[in-house]
Amino acid sequence: MTNIIDGKARAARLRAEIGRQIGILRQRDLITPGLAVILVGEEPASQIYVRNKANQAREAGMSSFEYRLANSVPQDKLLGLIERLNGDPEVHGILVQLPLPPQVSEARVIQAIDPVKDIDGFHPINVGLVATGSGEGVVPCTPLGCMMLLTHHLGEMRGKRALVLGRSNIVGKPMASLLLQADCTVTTAHSATHSLADECRRADILVSAVGRESMIGGDWIKPGATVIDVGINRVERDGKVRLVGDVDFDSAREVAGAITPVPGGVGPMTIACLLLNTLAATCRQYRLPFPDDIVSRAWEDEVVEAP
């Protein structure tokens, strides 16, 4: 029977454990982790993501600072805000929601964030530290959440064939790098890949982050494969806006060994990992030990499902 990987429940438990650790930090060290989130423009999906990130940070016991800037904001103004937040002792993590409008260079903005406050893991210093497998650096939230789900469901991944669909800096590239570090045989597929269906059918682990509604059907999936669907696509069905993944869930679940649903799969894990990265950044800034066992603690009394 196919396992439905319940990212929503996993993330709730992880957030609860993060909240517990923040409680300890606040009481013992009189430190409250602070997360600053910057949104430029009024893109509806980004507004929802940013609101969820800020609310969940507050619920976990963090200070949350939200900045909403007009779509027409000049780059210098945004860079000035980042510089101010870099020097603000109450802010330990800075997130600028992407994408940004065309007058603003994403690269300039990302590089302006102090690497120790870069809780997205997008700064070139963190990208380099993660890509070299140094064990240091900040792992981007979505790939980190995917790896946690995969590790929990599969345990050992050594030698498995992994296919990552998509080559973005946010998901595809770091995801492929983490799977490689887990000793998988990794292929990255993208818009120019030939015989995509055949590539998918060879994969023991399939991670899709292309943003194309229901592109992957059950007939593209290897029987027993573990499928992680990162896609969040808004579609109108029966007069209602619904969220669907890159994978056609109903046909895929007939074939896959385990699969994440959309919504309720990777999305909640991304936000939980953002809180985790903010807590880790706070500890680093005060040279306090980070509770490395936080994930195993959060999930420790949970029955591990057979792959």
Judge whether 97 counts as a catalytic residue.
yes
Residue 73 binds ligand GUN (CB under 6 A): no
Contact 206, 225 (CB under 8 A): yes
Q: Phi-psi bin for 121: left (phi > 0), alpha (psi -120 to 50), beta?
A: left
Contacting residue, 25, 78, 85, 95, with ligand GUN by CB under 6 A: 95
Between the alpha carbon of residue 41 and those of residues 94, 101, 223, the distances in Å are 17, 8, 43
Residue count at the site for ligand GUN (CB under 6 A)? Answer: 8
The answer to whether residue 120 forms part of the interface with ligand GUN (CB under 6 A) is: yes
Longest pairwise C-alpha distance within the chain: 57
Measured in whole angstroms, the distance separating CA 307 from the mean position of its chain's CA atoms is 22
Give me the residues paired with residue 93 across strands: 35
CB closer to ligand GUN, 68 vs 250:
68
Cis amide linkage into residue 99, ω under 30° from 0: yes
**Residue nearest ligand GUN, Cβ-based:** 98
Binding residue (CB under 6 A) for ligand GUN from 31, 79, 98, 154: 98
Options 76-84, 92-100, 240-248, 299-307: segment touching ligand GUN (CB under 6 A): 92-100
* 79 lies in the site for ligand GUN, by CB under 6 A: no
Burial class from Cβ neighbours inside 10 Å (0-12, 13-18, 19+) for residue 159 reads exposed
Under rule CB under 6 A, residue 64 binds ligand GUN: no
Range in contact with ligand GUN (rule: CB under 6 A) among 4-12, 55-63, 89-97, 232-240? 89-97
Active site residue 53: yes
According to the binding rule CB under 6 A, does residue 126 interact with ligand GUN? no
CB of 128 to ligand GUN, least distance (A): 18
| 3-state SS assignment for residue 268 | helix
Of 24 and 48, which has the nearer Cβ to ligand GUN? 48
Rg, Å, the chain Cα set: 19
Instruction: Choose, from 21, 56, 97, 204, the residue flagged as catalytic.
Output: 97
Instruction: Let me know if 120 is a catalytic residue.
Output: yes
Q: Tell me the H-state helices in the chain.
A: 7-29, 44-59, 75-86, 106-112, 124-131, 141-154, 172-181, 196-201, 249-252, 266-285, 294-299
Q: How far is the CB of 142 from ligand GUN (least distance, A)?
A: 6
User: Residues 120, 204, 229, 248: which is the catalytic one?
Assistant: 120
282 contacts ligand GUN (rule: CB under 6 A): no
Contacts with ligand GUN, residue ranges (CB under 6 A): 95-98, 120, 141-142, 170
User: Which sequence positions are flagged as catalytic?
Assistant: 53, 97, 120
